[in-house]
Structure 1
Amino acid sequence: MTETTNQTRGRTPGADQIRRAPKVLLHDHLDGGLRPATVVELAREQGYEDLPETEPAALGRWFREAADSGSLERYLETFAHTCAVMQTREALFRVAAECAEDLAADGVVYAEVRYAPEQHLTGGLGLEEVVEAVNEGFREGERRARENGHRIRVGALLTAMRHAARSLEIAELANRYRDLGVVGFDIAGAEAGFPPTRHLDAFEYLKRENNHFTIHAGEAFGLPSIWQALQWCGADRLGHGVRIIDDIQVAGDGTAKLGRLAAYVRDKRVPLELCPTSNLQTGAAESYREHPIGVLRELGFRATVNTDNRLMSGTSMSTEFERLVEAFGYTLDDMQWFTVNAMKSAFIPFDERLAMINDVIKPGYAELKSEWLFRETGGGAAQG
């Protein structure tokens, strides 16, 4: 362990350090991260009159309050308004570009952002046109970020809705665009009553094509959805997966006993796309301090930190880490651990993941720790 790490361990970072720290985001929904002002402007341009509020600040509050119901189904209802204004090429391009800009300004250096192409067709676009508009928007957002001194790479995950019957079609779409900005596939939507096994043909197709996919599982429905996602479907990652805690018994002295599914998830290094604030909103945890991420971190699961829906949760990657720092006393070392976990689990080639870890993430955290040590010692230890 280096001198810098020894001297900074146990000291929690402040908001500015958290914001500047390089972060990796694996679970973020495009239609859940719009700027409130953009929703208002797009609604006005498109003649959409069903917004509950027409002033950006008030609309932002409405989204957060509506999502704070404790119900996944009620939480999902809020997307009717964002999807309604994302039905043209121009709107999709704008939302994607602003997404990349906003993430980069928050210190995110790599992100996988997901969306369901089938939910953006009512304005007359085809599936391919939707994908191309979003991809072009991400590239534009990356360019704008560079102009502002930020570095980010954004890959798209194409999502199929688990209550619909287009998953194979969307999986084939993801495979066609896999070298053109799309890095993988996902299924999303209400878990109860819509098991991932309904979409086995899509998953079998993706496995034959050696493509990557994640599955929303273990958010609201529990252990059976996790088991099905892994053992029947072969998911590379678990979208949320927070309910794996139900297979872990923690004794009063802090010792833990893992059930066979939990042990499998940990031992196979299955990445968990944990979204703390979202999990609180949908009732998967009572508070940040009680969120299973604390136990999962201690037990060495492949845990990652994510935003899920920045608009509905009123959050960002920096906000998520601020809450975890406050709840668990996490340090920059802990933040780096979560970030490296996420980068290891990304759906881009191994050499590119390794380059991000060694050339961007580790140097970024080392610089923050050196700054901290320099301030704390007046420069002496850093120089000597």
Structure 2
Amino acid sequence: MTGPANVPAPIPPTLGELGRAPKALLHDHLDGGLRPETVLDLAHETGYTGLPCDDATELAAWFRTAADSGSLERYLETFAHTVAVMQTPVGLERVARECAVDLADDGVVYAEVRFAPEQHLDAGLDLDRVVDHVLEGMRAGESEARARGRHIRVGVLLTAMRHAARSREIAELAVRFRDRGVVGFDIAGAEAGNPPSRHLDAFEYMRDENAHFTIHAGEAFGLPSIHEAIAFCGTDRLGHGVRITDDITVAADGSASLGRLANYVRDKRIPLELCPSSNVQTGAVDTLENHPFDLLARLRFRVTVNTDNRLMSDTSMSREMQRLAETFGYGWSDLERFTINAMKSAFLPFDERLEIIDDVIKPGYAVLLG
């Protein structure tokens, strides 16, 4: 990772330098990345009166503080406000457009952004129209970024809420739109009491259609959630997966012993969509210093860096990389590896993944590595 103990650790890149690095993002929630100003604007336009304040700076601070609870369930409560203002065609398209632009401005060249269509039906839209408007917004954002000299490709993941009973319907929706910008399927929400195996029919349908999916597992709940996601549901990736460390024993000398499940995840190269800042906020880990990202990276799991919810965590891909670099002493070669890990794991055809790696990511890091 960072070389022998007698070799000085690399100087952590600055935020400005990181902004120029090409990045790939696999785990970002559309309803968790709104600009505070947009939340206020859409609330005023739609007549939503539930916001805790009417100032963008104060609202940003409120989201960050409210999400900083150490509980996934309380963390998820903050989404009531963002989802409330994402019920109209105008709102959905604006949020999606700004998402693509903001990610591109941060140097993200490929992103998979997820959202739950079933949560955006309050104003009379149906599921297909919800997806249509989000995809239209994403394409507009890609075009806007391109006009400003930034190039990004955004794929959409359709999420089903694990406490609800619409997962098969959302899986069918994902397949219906897979040639129009939807690249996969996901389930999300509180893990405890809502195991992934409750949604087996949705995952069986996705496999039957040769379609990609990821599962939120191993964030607030431990190994049983990860085991079910892999063994019963056949997930391609693990959303978070941080609790895989429950199956890893680290000795006093630093050596690690992997249990059967951890070995299987590593052997099969199952990608871990790790979200460091969010994992601290939800209580999956207590501090960034104790985050198992570095352990998993040193053990050569396929770790990826992700934002989860940029508004709630007051973060970006550049900030997540900076925090990891400052905490664990990573240099450009480490960050390049994590980025290539993500691009290898994207829900794109192989040749398209390879093209982004060879033509965008590697040349971009070659410049930074000097």
- TM-score normalized by the length of structure 2: 0.97
Other-structure match for 2:272: 272
Superposed counterparts of 1:176-255, under 5 Å: 176-255=176-255
- Tell me the amino acid that sits aligned with residue 217 of structure 2: A
Other-structure match for 1:80: 80
Give unmatched runs, 5+ long, in structure 1.
1-6, 371-384
CA contact (8 A) 1:67 1:312 kept: yes
| Shift of residue 8, structure 1, vs aligned partner | 11
- Tell me the amino acid that sits aligned with residue 274 of structure 2: L
CA contact (8 A) 1:9 1:333 kept: no
| Shift of residue 362, structure 1, vs aligned partner | 0.2
1:238-292 CA-partner distances (Å, limit 9, x unpaired): 0000000111111111100001100000010000000000000011112112100
Note the aligned Cα RMSD (angstroms): 1.1
Distance between the aligned counterparts of 2:51 and 2:61, measured in 1? 13
1:158-205 CA-partner distances (Å, limit 9, x unpaired): 000000000000000000000100000000000000000110000000
- How many residue pairs get aligned? The number is 364
Other-structure match for 1:4: none
**2:156 maps to 1:156:** yes
Other-structure match for 1:45: 45
**2:332 maps to 1:327:** no
Superposed counterparts of 1:10-29, under 5 Å: 10-29=10-29
Superposed counterparts of 1:1-384, under 5 Å: 10-370=10-370
Percent identity, please.
69
1:54-113 CA-partner distances (Å, limit 9, x unpaired): 101100000010000000000000000000000001100000000000000001000000
| Shift of residue 12, structure 1, vs aligned partner | 2.6
- Tell me the amino acid that sits aligned with residue 224 of structure 1: P
Runs (4+) of structure 1 exceeding 2 A deviation are 7-12
| Shift of residue 227, structure 1, vs aligned partner | 0.2
Distance between the aligned counterparts of 1:97 and 1:91, measured in 2? 10
Other-structure match for 2:4: none
1:216-236 CA-partner distances (Å, limit 9, x unpaired): 000001110000000000000
Give unmatched runs, 5+ long, in structure 2.
1-6
- Tell me the amino acid that sits aligned with residue 110 of structure 1: Y
Distance between the aligned counterparts of 2:103 and 2:156, measured in 1? 14
Distance between the aligned counterparts of 1:239 and 1:318, measured in 2? 20
Greater C-alpha radius of gyration: 1
Instruction: Please give the secondary structure, in 1, of the residue aligned with 2:124.
Output: coil
1:116-170 CA-partner distances (Å, limit 9, x unpaired): 0000000000100000000010000000101111110000000000000000000
- Tell me the amino acid that sits aligned with residue 184 of structure 1: G
Instruction: Please give the secondary structure, in 2, of the residue aligned with 1:54.
Output: coil
